[in-house]
């Protein structure tokens, strides 16, 4: 029998982190863990990523829990092959051209997310776009192919710390907070991927391992820079962050004046993030539930969420969504 989760706590037990060798057995174990919704750090040519099944909302919520990330930044989805990427996002001619020229490699493309992608909304923080990358690393691609599903992966470090470029770095930050790390030795590039947004104007969202000049040479045109478009470019501050169209009222004890109530814990509500008060479950449900309530066209009241652990990231996102705009 599953014990009831304690109010406001996540019930994820702390795993003992396995250090997996870069051989057939290590890859098989890493892929099996990913398919079971567990967290596996793996090498890419840029930095080590902290991977989870991008189609499993609970697995993705665990990423934020393990990193103690106080915000739900959208994550990069890693794929083994181009046809897998095409099932997730819409590629226009410019996207095709950049993928042709630079994939596999240190380039992440932000593209329109397909409605039938199967990607958990937490991966893109509820945005209608998705960041995709096909890494240039044999072990990473072998793992992605064996996992058989898209893998969401931020850099495998605790929030606010530097990105890891060896399995030892990963363990120094995340030992016993993740299920395994696949040891592929040091990363060749050692810098995160360059992120280009194509929704639809090509713009440089983050400089990285692939020089912007190489991308501009391929496009035959300069990339828009955020300083030129006036938009903020720091991660988590993107102007495009998802907010419902209806007004949002926080720390509500009950719905008033035609509101719908988004509950947490044992409260009477229209939709509940987690009736048992489990923050991991609440994080996994957050964007999906907000989208559903938004479709009612009614103002949304949200029950109080404990402000610790994943609750901090949930509250951060709710405050942004409630802010005047
Ligand atoms: O090299 C890399 O890119 C590594 C390896 C593991 O692939 N990953 C990485 O992920 O650096 P992360 O989570 O540290 O950075 C992801 C960045 C965030 O800053 C986020 O703002 C941006 O990608 N991003 C993701 N999805 C986005 C979207 N839909 N729109 C705009 N930006 C997005
Ligand atoms: Mg990072």
The ligand placed nearest to the CA atom of residue 235 is 1
Is 257 inside a domain boundary? yes
How far is CA 28 from each of CA 34, 146, 156, 157, 223, rounded to the nearest angstrom? 10, 7, 20, 24, 40
CA of 94 to the centre of ligand 1 (A): 20
Residue 233 lies in a domain: no
In the prediction, which pLDDT does 92 show?
97
Global model pTM greater than 0.85: yes
Domain boundary among 189, 210, 225: 225
Q: Nearest residue CA, atom 7 of ligand 1?
A: 49
- The pLDDT tens digits for 80-104 are 999 999 999 999 999 999 999 999 9
Same domain, 204 and 293: no
Residue 196 falls inside a structural domain: yes
Distance CA 192, CA 46 (A): 5
In this structure, the answer to whether residues 158 and 307 fall within a common structural domain is: no
User: Is 48 in the same domain as 120?
Assistant: yes
Looking at the fold, whether 173 and 285 belong to one and the same domain comes out as no
The alpha helices in 47-176, defined as continuous H runs, are 57-67, 82-86, 93-102, 138-147, 167-174
The total number of structural domains that make up the chain: 2
What's the gap in Å between 192 CA and the centre of ligand 1? 9
Question: Of 178-182, 231-235, 314-318, where does mean pLDDT reach its minimum?
Answer: 231-235
CA distance 225 to 241: 18
Parent domain of 254: 248-322
pLDDT value for 320: 84
Counting ligands in written order, the one closest to the CA of 163 is 2
Counting atoms of ligand 1 from 1, which one is nearest the CA of 153? 6
Neighbours of ion ligand 2 (CB under 5 A): 155
Pocket-forming residues, ligand 1, beta carbon under 6 Å: 44, 46-47, 49, 73-76, 108, 110, 124, 127, 129-131, 133, 153-155, 192-193, 195, 197, 205-206, 235, 238
CATH code, domain carrying 200:
3.90.870.10
Segment 9-54, tens digit of pLDDT: 555 567 899 999 999 999 999 999 999 999 999 999 999 999 999 9
Do 167 and 288 lie in one domain? The reply is no
Q: Could you tell me the CATH number of the domain that includes residue 311?
A: 3.40.50.11030
Mutate to test the pocket of ligand 1, among 72, 113, 195, 208 (most ligand atoms within 8 A of CB): 195
Asked if residue 231 belongs to a domain, the reply is no
Do residues 123 and 75 lie in contact, with contact meaning Cβ atoms separated by under 8 Å?
yes
Q: How confident is the model at residue 245 (pLDDT cuts 50, 70, 90)?
A: confident
The residue whose CA is least distant from atom 31 of ligand 1 is 110
- The pLDDT tens digits of the residues spanning 136-181 come to 999 999 999 999 999 999 999 999 888 999 999 999 999 999 999 9
CA distance 40 to 147: 11
Q: Which H/E stretch holds residue 126?
A: none
**Helix and strand element counts for the chain (H, E):** 10, 15
Instruction: Report the length, in residues, of the chain.
Output: 325
Contacts 24+ apart (CB under 8 A), 253-260: 253/303, 253/304, 254/301, 255/301, 256/301, 257/299, 258/298, 258/299, 259/298, 259/299, 259/300, 259/301, 260/293, 260/296, 260/298, 260/299, 260/300, 260/301
Q: What pLDDT sits at residue 41?
A: 98
**Same-domain status, 199 and 126:** yes
Judgement on whether residues 296 and 147 belong to the same structural domain of the protein = no
Residue 46 maps to a domain: yes
> Residue 123: nearest ligand to its CA?
1
Residue with the smallest CA separation from ligand 1 atom 15 is 154
213 and 258 in a common domain: no
With the most atoms of ligand 1 within 8 angstroms of its CB, the residue from 108, 190, 196 to mutate is 108
Regarding whether 96 and 177 lie in a shared domain, the answer is: yes
For residues 196 and 105, membership in a common domain is answered with yes
Residue 7 placed within a domain: no
Q: How far is CA 1 from CA 4, 72, in A?
A: 9, 32
186 and 265 share one domain: no
Does residue 266 share a domain with residue 206?
no
Residue 271 domain flag? yes
């Amino acid at each position: 029998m599953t014990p009831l989760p304690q109010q406001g706590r996540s019930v994820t037990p702390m795993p003992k982190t396995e250090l997996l060798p870069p051989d057939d057995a290590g890859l098989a174990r890493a892929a099996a863990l990913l398919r079971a919704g567990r967290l596996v750090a793996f090498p890419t040519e840029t930095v080590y990523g902290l991977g989870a099944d991008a189609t499993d909302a609970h697995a993705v919520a665990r990423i934020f829990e393990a990193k103690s990330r106080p915000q739900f930044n959208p994550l990069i989805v890693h794929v083994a092959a181009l046809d897998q990427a095409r099932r997730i996002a819409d590629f226009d001619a410019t996207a095709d051209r950049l993928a042709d020229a630079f994939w596999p490699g240190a380039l992440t493309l932000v593209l329109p997310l397909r409605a039938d992608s199967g990607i958990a909304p937490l991966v893109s923080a509820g945005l209608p776009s998705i960041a995709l990358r096909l890494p240039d690393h044999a072990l990473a691609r072998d793992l992605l192919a064996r996992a058989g599903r898209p893998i969401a992966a931020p850099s495998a470090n605790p929030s606010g710390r530097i990105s890891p470029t060896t399995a030892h770095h990963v363990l120094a930050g995340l030992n016993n907070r993740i299920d395994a790390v696949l040891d592929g030795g040091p990363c060749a590039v050692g810098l995160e991927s360059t992120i280009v947004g194509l929704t639809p104007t090509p713009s440089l969202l983050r400089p990285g391992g692939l020089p912007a000049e190489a991308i501009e040479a391929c496009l035959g045109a300069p990339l828009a820079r955020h300083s030129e478009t006036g938009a903020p470019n720091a991660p988590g501050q993107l102007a495009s962050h998802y907010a419902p169209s209806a007004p949002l009222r926080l720390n509500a004890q009950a719905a008033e004046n035609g509101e719908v109530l988004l509950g947490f814990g044992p409260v009477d509500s229209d939709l509940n993030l987690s009736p048992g008060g489990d923050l991991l479950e609440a994080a996994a449900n957050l964007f999906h539930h907000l989208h559903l309530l938004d479709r009612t066209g009614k103002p949304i009241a949200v029950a109080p969420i404990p402000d610790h652990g994943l609750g901090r990231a949930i509250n951060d996102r709710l405050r942004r969504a409630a802010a005047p705009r």
